[in-house]
Amino acid sequence: MHDDRSLVESRLKRVLDERIRPAVYPDSVPLQVGIWTAPGEPVPVAEGLAAPRSPIAVGDAWGAPWGTSWLTVSGTVPEEWAGRTVEALLDLGFDANMPGFQCEGLVYRSDGTPVKGLNPRNQWVRIAAPAAGGEEVLLHVEAASNPVILDYHPFLPTELGDKDTAGDRPQYRLARMDLAVFDETVWQLVVDLEVLGELMAELPVEGARRWDILRAVERALDAIDLQDVNATAAAARAELTAVLASPAEPSAHRISAVGHAHIDSAWLWPLRETVRKVARTTANMTALLEDEPDFVYTMSQAQQYAWIKEHRPEVYARVKKAVAEGRFVPAGGMWVESDTNMPSSEAMARQFVHGKRFFMDEFGVENQEAWLPDTFGFAGGLPQIIKEAGSKWLLTQKISWSQVNSFPHHTFWWEGIDGTRIFTHFPPVDTYNCSMQGKEIAHAVRNFKDKGRARHSIAPTGWGDGGGGTTREMIAKAARLRDLEGSARVAWERPAEFFAKAQAEYPEPPVWVGELYLELHRATLTSQARTKQGNRASENLLREAELWAATAAVRAGLPYAYEELDRIWKTVLLHQFHDILPGSSIAWVHREAERTYAAVAGELTAIVDRAQRALAGPAADTGTDVVFNSAPHPRAGVPAGGARRAPALSAAPGRCTVGPRTEGGFVLDNGLLRVAVDGAGLVVSAVDLDTGRETIAPGAAANLLQLHPDFPNMWDAWDVDRFYRNTVTDLTGLDELTIAADTPETAAVRVTRSFGSSRAVQTLTLTAGAKRLDLDTEVDWHETEKFLKAAYPLDLHTDRYAAETQFGHLHRPTHTNTSWEAAKFEACNHKFVHFEEPGWGVALVTASTYGHDVTRTVRPADRGTTTTVRVSLLRAPRFPDPQTDQGVHRFRHALVPGAGIGDAVREGYAINLPERRVPGDADVAPLATVGDEEVVVSAVKLADDRSGDVVVRIYESRGGRARTRLSAGFALAGARVCDLLERPREGEEVRVEGDEVMIELRPFQLLTLRLSRA
């Protein structure tokens, strides 16, 4: 037999493209189209429907960036089409390769009822099946002219990402606007041939199955009359029946397909556009569920459900109905698919509290899985949070993007810092936008790393990122792949069904311990500094607002701000979405976030002020102040979570001095630290006077600002590539070095530098009684494609260091023995990093930065080790926001010599939660006091069910076991152990003695207690 395989395969491609696909719609007539463009932001549906229309024709330009146009299409079904299936084909000017990234539309009937969404892969609207001749057609389309930000030449700077700079040039030209006959038989033939052609391409050439398919395809092509495809399509399909009916091998891999449309809650579009993206996609998916009985669709992010509930109630009603039927599945149980590296302990917990509670309240559904397909790495504290929220599974896909190391498992136990294990799955299809193509299914089979032990994987199926969801073509392909020789078996299943099967067949998978570090997108720890500072400030203010509102409710009877705190938490959680907090969204998103954070700060400050004034009581005649301490550790005589009259405070020990240094510069001393600042304004010595130990490495200088070029190979706002380190400029040029403060309480010097088009002013401060050097930095930043860091070379030998994460800390190596360690050249911390030799350590604490790097060198002269930590301050990528971080920024850090891990924890909280002073004359006892400093109070609040119970969350902070007492600052009627949703845990009891609760904690264990008041 001569080998004509390539000839037949090429024939299939051409005949499909040029004859069969065009025959799906054999007859068509044009529709009449009118348009009205809203003058500003999107308008209510009723207003858009009622607005006057002007004629517009196919080929005409429409749609300024971020605009909304209302189209009306009208026509009549020709009499000769009676009894046939008729659809409207509405092409707004789509590029088929960009679903979710360009213009989109939502179709309405004249009464305002939404029909379905329009996107590049879903341009049809069913009119009738069968149609009646002469039937009038009238549809309205709310069309969004969202500009293309990520174009074919990606990452080019563009001003289209902000409505104020995008201009008004039309972005699109109206394309096909027709009524057309839909030929179901031809459409099915297309799917048959696509499935077989794609499968054939993945099979070994020497295998019989490939040739069986090839000959069946050849016979089908022979059966088609290219001049009359519609009349011969059935005959062609008949030639394919046998090869489509051949069953899969018994050992075939099992793929659980689940309909999906990963919709970024903001990214290359603003939040307001996501509201409409969700409405379009869910309108499509609920319609598809009605047509396809086997189909199952899942959507995460409670925020997105809340949006359509508020803005598109008609669509939401359809969603609720489909959820009740078990076909539309709420997934994930989080408020949004958040970043998990940077959110605080409480914020990460509240993502699940608010997400799961919404799904339970709205749908009666409690999720067992966390669903985070696109998040940029996973902190080591997350498994415990998932388990404490009542869930037990995790899905993500993003780790497959790692640049260097291929993750060794697809199904495994993920063990967090406290020992909690979560059953975790990475879909081997390596995408959350599976479209049921043969190459995707075959890749999943080949790629699956757990062969021989497991055979189940999941495939989130549908167009995502910008929405769109599953298409009828994907469903038709999945139907053919249910039991097809040469392919994996594909079946639509809910995530919980998949996880149950996967865990049952693989009950003892391998274990991965610690963080799931993504070897990519490391710069998201630094980009858009104002967004990150707004997040941190909001988290801290929420802690304060809950603490003092609860204290004022118990102590003074002040009404607790339930509604306000609930709403503000949801706002802050929304902005932790994995393209907002990481700084990878368009300019519009981040400018809006900055305004939102300012409003949040105003509201929370008002709640704090109201509560503290109620607690402080009237000021004495002498004008006394009450000092409030929100931190979880006592401070200057003020108990943790309590307040004291200012006159009762003991004076801080020691006395601060600042004077000239012989070699130039200044020496600062407070009796605990002696810090030398040289003539260039750099810290060249920091001596712990208790031990005489020098902190700074010999011949090195700390608080050294360093500037790198920063032009990654792609993903500008997301990535920093390792080669950035090859070029560095030490910023040692000095404009001014002066004494900023010289009092017994404070010694400070101010350093001013200019570089490029920017300026930095740093204030270095010692305070009486504080064994730390405070470092305040203000940068007026006007660089482009640069990376600014501050370096601290420490005279300290260690092969690992601690970085704070949720409810504890994790250790990372300081060396690069393996490719896994070398890949972690930029990493995340919350409030501190800590370095330690036996008996002596150093902490660097931060009020708002997250990214850092650590390197180590050995000095030839004395063979001592220099361990250098550098905090990442600012970047200047030009995509997707060409003005990223331009302007003035303020950062606060502190260097803490002689610090143990407990000191790092304490100072980290102290720098983030400064004391507040309020006129008054009252002492305020804490609502909850723990007996040991290693146990940290993470939250004090009133129970969400408004019972008046006090909820206290604590955790062991040092990585050891703890046995302590929690004292309630009120008459205690009882105490229960709860989950994060404040539901008592059956079988988990604590011993209560009077107003005290006896507590034992394992390393890094978090514990939520519900305290009932007598």
Q: Which residues are catalytic?
A: 374
Q: What angle do CA 999, 982, 538 make, to 5 degrees?
A: 95
For 552, the token pair is 């004022």
Question: Who contacts 71 (Cβ-Cβ below 8 Å, separation ≥6)?
Answer: 33, 34, 35, 56, 105, 140, 141, 143
- CA 821 – CA 813 distance, rounded (Å): 7
Using an 8 Å Cβ cutoff, are 580 and 593 in contact? yes
Closest by Cα among 145, 137, 164, 121 to 70: 145
How far is CA 682 from its chain centroid?
37
User: Scanning the structure block, which residue is given the tokens 């008949």?
Assistant: 238
Closest by Cα among 515, 447, 470, 400 to 258: 470
Using an 8 Å Cβ cutoff, are 747 and 766 in contact? yes
- CA 309 – CA 286 distance, rounded (Å): 15
**Helices (H), ranges, 559-586:** 562-574
- CA 92 – CA 592 distance, rounded (Å): 29
At residue 355, the 3 state secondary structure works out as: helix
How far CA 809 is from CA of 133, 512, 576, in Å, comes to: 71, 17, 20
Full strand arrangement of the beta sheet holding 104-108: 54-55, 32-37, 67-76, 136-145, 104-108, 114-118
**Cβ atoms < 10 Å from Cβ of 907:** 25
- CA 939 – CA 913 distance, rounded (Å): 13
Name the strand (E) or helix (H) holding 349: helix 345-363
- CA 290 – CA 124 distance, rounded (Å): 16
- CA 393 – CA 498 distance, rounded (Å): 11
- CA 655 – CA 725 distance, rounded (Å): 42
Using an 8 Å Cβ cutoff, are 465 and 262 in contact? yes
Closest by Cα among 243, 246, 183 to 217: 243
Using an 8 Å Cβ cutoff, are 89 and 80 in contact? no
**Cβ atoms < 10 Å from Cβ of 657:** 16
Helix 184-202 vs helix 472-480: crossing angle, to nearest 10: 60
Asked if the bond preceding 880 is cis, omega within 30° of 0, the reply is yes
- CA 92 – CA 170 distance, rounded (Å): 12
Which residues are 727's β-sheet partners?
none
- CA 799 – CA 88 distance, rounded (Å): 66
**Cβ atoms < 10 Å from Cβ of 266:** 25
For 861, the token pair is 């002269």
Using an 8 Å Cβ cutoff, are 348 and 382 in contact? yes
How far CA 855 is from CA of 92, 152, 791, 804, in Å, comes to: 53, 38, 11, 18
Name the strand (E) or helix (H) holding 902: helix 901-912
Which residues are 345's β-sheet partners?
none
What would the DSSP string read from start to end of 799-852? SEEEEEETTEEEEEESS-SSHHHHT-SSEE-SSEEEEEETTEEEEEEESS--EE
Phi/psi for 625 (5° steps) reads -115, 155
- CA 32 – CA 29 distance, rounded (Å): 10
